[in-house]
Amino acid sequence: MSDLPSARTPVLDVWCELQCTDCRTALEDLRALRARYGDRLELRLRHFPMEKHKHSFAAAQAAEEAVEQGRGWDYVEAVLGRVEELDRRGEPFLVEVAGGLGLDAEEFDTALIDGRHILIVDADQAEGKAIGVTGTPTYVIGGERLDGSKSQGGLRARIEEIADRLLAGGE
């Protein structure tokens, strides 16, 4: 018997950018989805850094280091909660947040210097472009893309509707 999630566990890809105030707004919905579904719905962070935000690519790499250290969503929430500070301070802020969460801040600094997570971020961004992601947040569940960059209105209800259908065995 495997400890891996069942092949039937629906996946919600969350295309996010850590300098995006709309992504910060979406946190409430993501928390509610995690509370409602727990392990029955896999929320998967996907990166879509945009050129208009000069620290977004470094922030995506830092988020991947947080995932590697076991605190990915905690880190994402901490950075998104202080977007304006990221705008002002850049990479030193990313390392400081890691330390504040009890993560290995020195390892974060090294990861940002050596670029060990660049390929993951690049691959996410390329896949996002290929499926039509143009802004963040964008969600993909059950083959349906939902764009939250223009409005969050009704998205959580639509995600829940799709997740419930998938969990019930519908396609």
In SS3 terms, 127-153 reads as: HHHHCCCCCCCEEEECCEEEECCCCCC
Q: Which residue has the tokens 């974060």?
A: 108
pTM more than 0.85: yes
How many degrees, rounded to 5, is the angle at CA 53 between CA 119 and CA 91? 70
Quick one: how far is CA 162 from the chain centroid? 19
CB atoms within 10 A of CB 145: 14
Q: What confidence tens digit (pLDDT) does each residue in 76-110 have?
A: 999 999 999 999 999 999 999 999 999 999 999 99
Measure the CA–CA gap between 93 and 136, rounded to whole angstroms: 22
**Residue 47 amino acid letter:** H
pLDDT at position 3 is 43
